[in-house]
Structure 1
Amino acid sequence: MNARPPGEVRAAGAVLWRDTSRGVRVAVVHRPQYDDWSLPKGKLDRDETVPAAAVRELREETGFSATLGRRLSTVRYSVDAGRKTVEYFSAAAGEGTFEANAEVDELRWLSPAEAEKALTYRRDAAVLRAFMALPAPLSTVLLVRHAKAGKRGEWTGDDDLRPLSSAGARQAEAVRKLAPLFGVDRVFSAPPLRCVQTAAGTAEDLGTEVGIEPSLSETGYWPDADRGLSRLRAIVTAGGTPLIASQGGVIPDLLSSLAARAGITLPAGKRGTVPCKKGSVWVLSFHAGSSNGGPLLAAADYYPTALPAPAPARL
């Protein structure tokens, strides 16, 4: 985990939403300690990831389980302990019942317009407006670059059989812990063993098999990139929340194609490329349903690592 700046307080929260017969409703909570109305949030525990903290805090403050979606914004402000940084997500409410507790004594489900008026702080209202900028129901895909597998030059066998290193195994375990926070329910992988091993823990937790996708490997993608892109779109169209493990020679081009069609600009990493570190995760949000050309990318969030680390860069 990277060192945090002195005096920095890290926190995570969300716009917790649900569909009702009257449309989307979002949760706002009253904190008796401050006598304010705010979005649910809370501090990170030691060695906790930002997404894990968001889901935990939502459960503790509201009583509801939550499935994370796109990242909304980063809010920074001064507190007695120094500087506070809060990462906010969109989060779909699951099962649960609110009970008053030491931190929150009242919860209201309001329309976004009503919630904006009720919120005490302008910074929370700005987060809510970021939520309102896109439809609440979006399809989510986790696109993962395989974890570390040692140096290629030191492996004498078939490169497709090169296994994860000990560091790669730790990265894969972190992906395994991240996946349920976003509601992953299907698992796919390019054929190389290091890709399959990166996704295998998630599949095991779901009691399913890893679907092998040759068109999303480096050897399968480049002879016909359009076929690989079409396969990704088909996986999205099939529904649910898939996790796809692929390779560094595929992911940047896939993302660039999706972003170009959607009119989204991706930031450049080193040497002008789309960032794609080993063990990294792209959380992709697509508009629900599909157009004539297939699902349309709505947002993309890059997590350089699934291990406890600074929050993801917003794209």
Structure 2
Amino acid sequence: MIKAAGAVLWREADGDVEIALVHRRRYDDWSLPKGKLDRGETIPACAVREVEEETGFSCVLGRHLRQVSYSVRGTAKTVDYFAAEAVSGTFTVNDEVDELRWLPLAEAPALLTYEPDREVLAEFARLPADLSLVLLVRHAKAGKRSEWDGDDDLRPLSDAGWRQAAALRSLLPLWSPTRVHSAPRVRCVDTVRGVAEDLSVELVEEPRLSEEGYWPDPEAGLVRLLEVATEEGRAVVSSQGGVIPSMVQTLAEMGGLRLDEIPCKKGSTWLLAFTRPFGTWSTSDSPSRWPALVSAYYVASALPRP
């Protein structure tokens, strides 16, 4: 299996959205920037690196768009595409790309050579480019509850858990979060503490998003997550395996989003994208006015590919 990643690279221009398409000299085609994973690299990190190598632009990832599958000389290949906003840079001719064009979103499909690229672009165009994002993280490994004699709230990360937390410290900034929230348990806080330190922001504790805070009143916990989603900037939220599947399932049902399964490994992340509510939103509003979950992508591990 060949794994690759890429992005729909976009920017705002005079109130419109423009898309970057690249011409590859070797194939004489127009495509979306993409490339194969390097050893020791995650899929999101590959998407960011390939965008910069092919286009010269640094980018911030947005929602996951779709995975494309095809065969290359008898070997299966998958390419995961994300939305990605260009934040800085300039194009120069390189070994793979000899031309880049910024085109209005409506004009870009006509230039693309391959139908799967047009399908990816159609998925990008289906929703606004700039959505509210929450990176919902299950805490990293913390050993077995049965082997810890102290207060379970104080159970610390294991050595493997600290490695997962370090990997999250590299992975989560690809989406440029500006806020970090966590259930109060030590293992939840320590999983994302490094991210907060790197951002120089205060870590906000969220009692409603712990197992003991969520289950007495799941609706209140869900509302609190939606409040976090609507605040300025993107958020990292660290919670527990007894909470995350319920929240993701309920949000998906409310948003009309079909999820066949909701895995939740320790150290994993759900990338949740929400529509922005119109006008001023209040938790007293009808649920139909609440932010709607429109995309959910599961990152099973922040640890790089061996």
Q: Which aligned runs of 4 or more in structure 1 are off by greater than 6 angstroms?
A: none
In 2, distance between residues paired with 1:10 and 1:151? 33
Per-residue displacement from partner, 1:85-126 (whole Å, max 9, x unpaired)? 211111111111111112111111112231110011112111
Q: Indicate if the aligned counterparts of 1:9 and 1:81 stay in contact, CA closer than 8 A.
A: no
Counterpart pick for 1:303 among 296, 299, 305: 299
- Give the stretch that moved more between structures: 290-299 or 184-193: 290-299
Match of 1:257 in 2: 250
Q: Tell me what 1:26 maps to.
A: 19
Is residue 13–residue 87 contact of structure 1 (8 Å, CA) maintained in 2? yes
Alignment of 1:83-232 (within 5 A): 83-232=76-225
Aligned-pair distance for 1:75?
Answer: 1.7
**1:46 aligns with one of 30, 39, 58:** 39
CA distance in 2, matches of 1:253, 1:120: 42
3-state SS in 2 of match to 1:223: coil
Shift of 1:289: 3.5
Q: Partner of 1:74 in structure 2?
A: 67
Alignment partners' CA distance in 2, 1:134 and 1:62: 24
1-side partners of 2:46 and 2:115: how far apart?
23
TM-superposed CA distance for 1:84, in Å, is 2.6
Give 1:141 deviation, angstroms.
0.6
Task: Work out the CA distance in 1 between the residues paired with 2:77 and 2:252.
Answer: 32
Task: Report the CA distance between 1:299 and its aligned residue.
Answer: 0.7
Q: Deviations over 1:275-297 (max 9, x none)?
A: 21111100000112356432111
SS of the residue corresponding to residue 127 of structure 2 reads: coil
How far does the alpha carbon of each residue in 1:33-61 deviate from its partner, in whole angstroms, 9 at most, with x for none? 11111100111111100000000111111
Q: Deviations over 1:129-171 (max 9, x none)?
A: 1212222111111000101100001100010000000111111
Alignment partner of 1:157: what SS?
Answer: coil
Which piece of structure 1 moves more, 187-196 or 28-37?
28-37
CA contact (8 A) 1:237 1:294 kept: no
| Equivalent in 272, 286, 298 of residue 284 of structure 1 | 272
Aligned residue type for 2:259: L
TM value normalised by structure 2:
0.93
Paired with 2:82 and 2:290, the residues of 1 have a C-alpha distance of 25
Query: Which residue of 1 is the match for residue 54 of structure 2?
Result: 61
- Superposed displacement of residue 73, structure 1: 1.6
Question: Is 1:247 matched with 2:235?
Answer: no
How many residue pairs get aligned? The number is 298
TM-score, length of structure 1 as denominator length? 0.90
C-alpha separation in 1, matches of 2:79 and 2:295: 20
| Separation in 1, partners of 2:193, 2:74 | 41
Give deviations 1:12-32, integer Å, cap 9, x for gaps.
101111122151111101111
Could you say what the CA RMSD is over the residues aligned between the two structures, in angstroms?
1.6
**What's the % identity of the aligned pairs?**
58
2:5 maps to 1:12: yes
- Counterparts of 1:162 and 1:22 in 2: how far apart (Å)? 50
Q: Which runs of 5+ in 1 are unaligned?
A: 1-7, 269-273, 311-315
Correspondences of 1:262-277 after superposition (within 5 Å): 262-268=255-261, 274-277=262-265
Task: Please give the alpha-carbon distance, in whole angstroms, between the structure 2 residues aligned to 1:104 and 1:81.
Answer: 26
